Amino acid sequence: MQDILLALTLAAGVLGQSSSTYVDSNTGITFQSFLDTSKDVFFGIALPTDTSDDVIGQIVGPADASWASFDFGSSMINNLLVVAWPYEGQVIASTRLTTGYTAPPEYIGSAAIKPISNGTFVNSTHFSYTYLCTGCAIESSSLRDNVGVFGWALSTTALTDASTTSAALTYHAAGFGAFGLDIDAARSDSFGSWAAMAASSNSTIPTIPKPPGSNSTLPVTTSNATYDYIIAGGGPAGIIVAQRLAETGADVLLIERGPASTYASGGEKVLDWNDTVTQYDVPALAYSLSSMDTDYCVDTASQAGCLLGGGTMVNAMMYVPPQPVDFDDKWPVGWKWTDVVASAERLYTKLPGTSVPSADGERYDQGAYDVLSKFFDGLGWSLTDIAESPDNKHNTYSHPHWSIGNGKRASPVTTYLPLAQSMPNFELQLETKVMRAVRNGSYVSGVEVETTAGNRQLINVNAGGKVILASGALSSPRILWNSGIGRSEQIQVVADGQTSVILPRESEWIDLPVGEGVQDHPIVTLKFQTGSLPALASAAFTNPSINDTEMFAQGEGLLTQSGQRLNFWSSAEASDGATRYFQGTCNAPSNNTVQMKIYLTHGLTSSGDLTITSAGNTEFAVQPWLNTDADREALATFIDQLLEYTRTSNSSLRYTSSTGTNDTGASLLDTFVSGSHFVGTARMGSDEGSVVVDTDTKVYGTDNLYVVDASIHPDLPTGNTQAIVMVAAEHAADKILAASVNGTEATPSSKFTTSRVIRTGFTNSYSQKQRKRHMHLPRAGRRSMLRSGLRSF
């Protein structure tokens, strides 16, 4: 590795940069290469001169890394990924397919990798994986360009099981980026002889097979405590429903698989410049969380937050109130806008959101807004207040409306949860994963959970009690499949898998379309050059000035805002006669540049299917983005209109792209990324057999199992899903409270004198008074108290 460091001086993360030639002394292979000296990672490729689809690649990373990867494209969607990591003196490698901002599933296409042994090793400082990838060029459009743009990523967070090629990848917080390589310079007449080294290699990719779950069991204990309601998932829907149920006096247990998030809830990821807030508290860090040690799930098909508050802790805080059409188009009777409007008002009373989060009433860093508002004014579009006029979404623009309160990120964690925690009949259990609902025929007696230490426990409901799944659109289906609910193909995967889940008898499996029809907002990003527009560097948010931190301490200033500077909406009728909506979120990513992220939203018809792997991960069997002609036509046409607007002589914006200025809407569709706004994996409806839950949110075929998160939503809204998920959760609470179990209502009882929090096996009754007292301790003393378990929620 030392001679690599001497030979290369490429800068990280720069697109289209000139590549460097490097001859590997171990193999003699000449690579076109990229080196990030700050992260100590190296990536190289060599290509044949003929039309072969084979590629030779090399990945070199620090020996203490958990993994490093080379992406055969630059986006996070539909690209082949080669991942390698050191394990007990060997190198394990795996091919993956990027599907979004999440742990990528294993690749199952025709391309295959084989190591070249002389270039594959682990020493005291680095590991190296050199490989022949047959058929890789078919999977990479970047290899067909003169300068190919590729991606890389590095993680230092330990893998859960590094011994197997199917290990779920941890988040790449240690580093990631994109770089350009000279494709013509990578071609060599010696490729055939280099490739022959792989064919003659005795090296194989080591792996330790895991026994199927049907042949192994884990010891399971039973909790002494029982509850009237058990909610699986501490995201926005779970917290809202838990609070609404607890206020009736019923015993409620809310289970969250991740840790606390905000500082007030006990989160520990505090900042160097303010140790009384976590990275999740500060609105200005929303756009930077992907480069931080963030609590994302590693076992879901796309990005999801695995922490208290779920997606509301890792999103960019767009809080777009749903409009009547969002419910009236496809939601069933009992869930139309006139039915849910009272629920929406209850939500907005507790969590109103704001477009002016700074306590001094000022908006900061408004250069992008000034440029873009003039641009849209010139098109005849109108300024609106999207909170006051949520149904005004045709050719309008608005200041962003955020879920921010008192200068910090606001969510059910900061509003509903404290109300629940003030009640003696409410309990929160963190760092505990719900594996399944325990079924006896149609009746659910409780849940089986697993702690971070791997311990399993049964927790039961009282007579007349209910279990409510609120783990999100990408995780609630897993619990359903693990409970013997869904299509037999997925349940059989669980039966034959590695998760030691005990299923009901096959005769008791409930056949429902779990995972089918998942939808999401696709996003295409456009960048435009404009006049004099200074942009703030990312360090202004991640390493803020003293002035900005002092203002933030007063609830004021730049840090109280999220990253968007202007939002816009439009709509159009497509060729299939359906109206589709578009949303834009805009900012200034660099000097003299504005960026528009274009969402295709309500009215889209594309959908996909979610499935489960033998390891218990959810992944897409069919991807949900832009797979209908009308959706592709509608989004391409809208993008073309925007581009046309900017190509007029008097436009203040000029389109810019690494691929040139002649892009069209159709050509840009392939650059889309996921909005991570997934809905519909356990759809609600009155047509039993074609949907999963009824209009009370109860799972068909069960007596007392409910779902309340985005998985039940039968449609996508015209804006971000955050607000509509909360409105639906408020309404679902009414439905659940009105329903009985075989004529039996849960009887409220109070078993505890204070609200409790359990974190992986210990009980906490630390009071708010104690919390206030310890907040005056020096930081070191306070953190030691938190580590010892003295925590208030």
The token pair that represents 518 in the structure block: 């998942």
| C-beta separation of 1 from 124 below 8 A | no
The CA R_g of the chain, rounded to the nearest whole Å, is 26
The token pair that represents 386 in the structure block: 């999207």
Q: Which of 677, 713, 731, 774 is flagged as catalytic?
A: 677
Q: What angle do CA 488, 491, 494 make, to 5 degrees?
A: 150
Calpha distance 733→245 (Å, rounded): 7
Residue type, 355: S
> Which ranges of 298-380 would DSSP assign to H, the alpha helix?
324-328, 337-350, 367-378
Closest CA to 65 of 40, 100, 98: 40
Calpha distance 63→44 (Å, rounded): 18
Q: What is the dihedral of CA 331, 337, 343, 349, to 10 degrees?
A: 130
| C-beta separation of 468 from 231 below 8 A | yes
Calpha distance 267→560 (Å, rounded): 19
- Name, in order, each residue with C-beta under 8 angstroms of 336's C-beta and a sequence gap of 6 or more: 327, 328
Q: How many CB atoms lie within 10 A of CB 645?
A: 15
The token pair that represents 350 in the structure block: 């507790």
Backbone angles phi, psi at 183, to 5 degrees: -70, -45
Backbone angles phi, psi at 13, to 5 degrees: 70, 20
Q: Are strands 252-255 and 220-232 parallel, antiparallel or unpaired?
A: parallel
Burial 324-335 (b: 16+ CB within 10 A, else e): ebbbebbbbeeb
- Using left for φ > 0, alpha for ψ between -120 and 50, and beta otherwise, residue 597 falls in beta
> Which ranges of 739-789 would DSSP assign to H, the alpha helix?
768-774, 779-787
Helix (H) or strand (E) holding 431: none
Count the alpha carbons within 13 Å of 16 in the hemisphere toward its beta carbon.
4
Calpha distance 73→77 (Å, rounded): 9
| Active-site annotation holds for 394 | no
Helix (H) or strand (E) holding 562: none
End-to-end CA distance of the chain: 48
Helix (H) or strand (E) holding 325: helix 324-328
Closest CA to 114 of 203, 174, 14, 17: 203
Q: Are strands 566-573 and 456-469 parallel, antiparallel or unpaired?
A: unpaired
Calpha distance 529→594 (Å, rounded): 7
Q: What angle do CA 468, 473, 475 make, to 5 degrees?
A: 70
Read off the DSSP letter of residue 311.
G
The token pair that represents 30 in the structure block: 């000449």
| C-beta separation of 334 from 343 below 8 A | no
Calpha distance 584→587 (Å, rounded): 10
- Using left for φ > 0, alpha for ψ between -120 and 50, and beta otherwise, residue 672 falls in beta
Query: Tokens 């299923």 sit at which residue?
Result: 503
Q: Is 371 helix (H, G, I), strand (E, B) or coil?
A: helix
Just list the catalytic residues.
Answer: 677
